[in-house]
Structure formats: structure tokens, C-alpha cells
Amino acid sequence: MNQQEQLILNVDDTDAARYARTRILTKAGLRVVEAASGTEALALARELRPDLILLDVKLPDIHGMEVCARLKADPATSFILVLQTSASYIGVADKIRALEGGADNYLFEPIEPAELVANVQALLRLAKVENEMREMDRRKDEFLAILAHELRNPLVPIRNAVGILNTRAPHAPEWELRARATISHHLDHMVRLVDDLLDVSRLSHNKLALQSRRTAVQDILERALEATRDLMQRKHQQLATEMADPALAVTGDEVRLAQVLINLLHNAAKFTPEGGHIRLSAAAAGGRVVITVSDDGIGISQGRLEEIFGMFAQANGLGRDRQDGLGIGLSLAKNLIELHGGTLTADSAGLGQGSSFRVELPQAPPDAEATAVAAPAQAVTGNTVPGPRRILVVDDNVDIADTMKELMELLGHQVEVAYSGGGGMRRALQSRPDAIMLDIGLKDMTGHDLVRMLRADEATRGIYLLACSGFSSDEDKRQAFDAGVDDYLVKPVDLDTLAQLELRRPPAG
């Protein structure tokens, strides 16, 4: 980016001073636009997005330091560099106040033309670097989203194929069952790595939204144990649990809190030898819920107790023999707990002495009515067995579509397949299925376009629409729901989830 491409907004209410600065900067080969007030400066900043604002402190309507604070507080203009100048506020305290308020530099008037140009050009170089970094960050996020989608696609037929094998031949030879379990274990590990990568990116941009509600701690613990028990059994480890009082609850995102405990239990199993011991407990203490995961594994050296929560830090306390994983699980877990207003800490007596991880969360106040209502509702859900449905699977990946068809047929449904959005629309009009399971990333049209077409046609608008996609961000889901889907599942979907799908729209009203 050359100087002519970079734009400066020159803000000063004194015509002569503003003209003089603009002339100095334009003679140096810079592009300049002008504003005579704070209000005008804020409006032009949002409209033009200049690279730098040369901002006088003493303005007629809004104090220049307040203008700077507003610019930095607005996400649309926070990246714009601000060079403040003043002939009135020339004390060290004034300069400190301006810099603490968000100014990128502060100059006392009178300013020599060469000094002004040098300061502006220095900040423009910084602006160029920051713009390049923002663009790289944007491309990184796009790459991670595409990478996750492309990695998930081959995982779907693998998971579907394992589900088909387990359903068709549950009593296979022992060697075959072991092979299937190995595939499933490493498939789950791959899915977890992909999810962790995306979550780290969302956290770094404050885009990770929590679906908070009152949740029983016991439900969170059981969900985490279900996901990690097989790993402990394979290593013949002894698991001791001290489950929470059923009335003990927190306000938070059950999926994210379970994700934290799954990570802690997975690490405990990974770093504890064959036949070792792992303990999971939960209790109330001083208005807080304390959940502890402890083991008698390799332990952690004292110098690494804080280091292990750093991004890309490997949790191997021995400092050698690099373990599997990306080294982001504990960092992600700590951030998720802090988003819930809690803390995650580690403790160990040293190498070979085992380790303990302690999660503390604010305890939700007692709610007898919620407890009374939740229990029977959960029981009803658990006993619900969806009846057979006529289903249309729409996916341009033939392996995904065909294995999903076979899997849903094994669950008792009648299934057709379409390998394109246009084919899906034609099939839907011909057969009028009860439900359509559709991919979002279709080649001939987006899944959103297909959903809108289905909802616009009187013959298909009442069909239950389930998006099954490798795109997993909250924005991806929002766009799908805005288009008209009834539900959204992230690939690969496990067999238990598919078996519980109702696959029909609830009655209107």
C-alpha cells in the first residue's frame, strides 16, 4: 500500500491551522480529508475508515479526548490510528491522559512541519502492518472454517460406516469389535481436535457464544464420563466418582462445561499409566461448585503448573516425548470456565506424584420449581422413540449421502437420496417426504437457497428440514435458521443422536 492509497482525516476547528496541516501533508504526498468538529470527525471516520486521524484536542462540540475514546470504543473505527495534537493541553499529565484514553501518539504545538510528517508517516507504517495483520487474521479464520468443513466431510462416512457395522453385526468376532472401537476412538479424537481449533479462533475474537441455562452438575459430570469412560477402560484404570447432589446446579452452557471436564478426564487418562487411579468429585463450598479431577499419573513439575494453561503448551509434565494433541485443550478449558465466571487451577506434588485440576463455578441458587419440572420432562425425552419417517437426504458427497441413507434405513426409516440441490428440490416435490436432511455446502446452490425454495413452495413448506453441515460457527447456524431450517447438526453426527431425532415439525401454535 503506497502513501496515495492511505487516507488521513485532519480534524481541527481553526480554519487556518487545519489548512496549514493539510497543505503540509499533501505536499508530502499524502491524501487528506478535513473535518471541523468532533461530530463531523466521528461521522467521516465511520464512512471513510481513514488509516489515521490527526485530531486536535480543543474542539467546539466534543472534547478531542472524548472523540478519541468514542473512536476506539466503536468496533467499526477502533482500528484507526489517532495522532492527537494540542496547543492548550501541553502538560505531561495531559499527554498521559490522552495516551491512556486510546491515542496512539500525542504532540504539543507548535509542531515543525518535518516533525509532523515524520510522526504521521511512522504511524502510517504501523497502520499498514496492522491492516496486513488483520487481513491475515481474517484469512486464517476463513481457512480454519474451510479446513474444519473439509476435514469433517471424510469423517462423516467413516462414522456412518462404523454405525452401520455396529448395527448390522453387533456380535462380530472380538478382533473386529476391537478394530471398530479403535476407528471410533481415533475418529472422536480427530473431531475433538477440529472443534478445539475452531473454538480457539472464536475465543480470540470474542465470537464464542454461550447457551446458558440452569444445569444440574450431575448431568454435566455424567455427560463427561460417558465420553471418556471407554478410554479409561482400555487402559484398565480405576475410576472413582463422588457425584454431586442432584439439586446442585450452575448457570451455564452444559455442552461447554462438559467439554471442559471431558478434556480434564481425557488428560488424566492419557497421563496415568495402565491400572492407575482417577477420581472425579463435585461438591458445594461457600456458594461455589467445586469439581475436581485427580489422578496418580506422571504429575507436573512446580515450574509448569501455570505454563500448561498457555496456548499450544503440551501437558506432558516430563518435558519430553511429545504427546498427541495440539496443546490447546487446557488453554481452551481455562478460557471457557472463566467465561462462566469461574476458575480452573492445577496442583501437583511434582513429577511422578499425580496431579489435580480444580474447577470452581458460581453455584446457582436453589430452584425447587425448576427441579420439579425438569425431572419428568427428562424422563419423557429419554423414553421417546421416533416413529419411521420418509426421509430425503440431500448431499453432493456421494459417500456421505449413501452411508447416511443406509444408516437411517437401519434406524427404520424410508430413505431417498439426491446428490444436488436441484435434484433435492425435484425429489421433494415428487415424493413429499416427512423430513429432509440437507448439506449446506452444496455445489449447484447453497443449502440456504434450497431451504428458501422449499419454504416458498406450498407443496414443501411444511416439511421438517434438518441441516447437517461441517460449518459449525454460531453465524453459520444463525444463517441456516434464518433461511428456515428446523434444526442444525454439525457433522459428523453420532448414531445415538440420529436415533433420537423426531424428524417432524411440531404442530402449529
Q: Which residue matches cell numbers 436432511? A: 437
pLDDT on residue 315 = 47
∠ CA 125-126-130, rounded to 5°: 120
State mean pLDDT over 145-163: 84
Number of H helices, E strands in the chain: 15, 17
pLDDT at 507 (0 to 100): 67
| Cell digits of residue 445 | 446452490
pTM score: 0.58
Q: Which of 42-56, 351-365, 374-388 has the lowest mean pLDDT?
A: 374-388
Q: Mean pLDDT for the chain?
A: 86
| CB neighbour class for 240 (10 Å; exposed up to 12, middle 13-18, buried from 19) | exposed
- CB atoms near residue 497 (< 10 Å): 10
**Order of strands, edge to edge, in the sheet holding 355-362?**
238-242, 277-285, 288-295, 355-362, 343-347
Cell 444463517: give the residue: 479
pLDDT attached to residue 463: 96
Q: Can you tell me which residue has the cell 491475515?
A: 136
In angstroms, the CA 314 to CA 172 distance is 38
Q: What's the rounded mean pLDDT across residues 395-422? A: 94
CA distances from 281 to 4, 243, 341, 500 (A): 64, 6, 20, 30
User: By C-alpha distance, which of 22, 50, 52, 51 is closest to 36?
Assistant: 22
All domains in the chain, ordered by first residue: 3-111 (3.40.50.2300), 141-208+384-509 (3.40.50.2300), 215-367 (3.30.565.10)
pLDDT of residue 141: 74
Q: Give residue 184's Cα distance to chain centre.
A: 24
Burial of 399 (0-12, 13-18, 19+ CB in 10 A): middle
Highest mean pLDDT among 39-53, 291-305, 321-335: 39-53
The span from the CA of 397 to the CA of 150, in Å, is 11
Spell out the residues 6+ positions from residue 39 whose beta carbon is closer than 8 angstroms to its own: 61, 62
Cα angle 487, 404, 505; round to 5: 30
pLDDT above 70 as % of the chain = 90
Check if the beta carbon of residue 443 is closer than 8 Å to that of residue 463.
no
> 246 and 366 in contact (C-beta within 8 Å)?
no
Q: How confident is the model at residue 373 (pLDDT cuts 50, 70, 90)?
A: very low
For 149, residues 6+ apart whose C-beta sits below 8 A from its C-beta are 441, 469, 470, 471
- pLDDT(88) > 90: no
Give, as one character, the DSSP assignment of residue 101.
Answer: T
Angle (CA) 265-273-182 rounded to 5° is 70
CA distance 244 to 95: 55
pLDDT (average), residues 388-397: 94
pLDDT band at 432 (very low <50, low <70, confident <90, very high): very high
> For the ranges 31-35, 89-93, 286-290, which has the lowest average pLDDT?
89-93
Over residues 248-260, the pLDDT tens digits come to 999 998 888 998 9
pLDDT band at 508 (very low <50, low <70, confident <90, very high): low
- Following DSSP, what letter does each residue of 261-302 receive, concatenated? HHHHHHHHHHTS-TT-EEEEEEEEETTEEEEEEEESSS---G
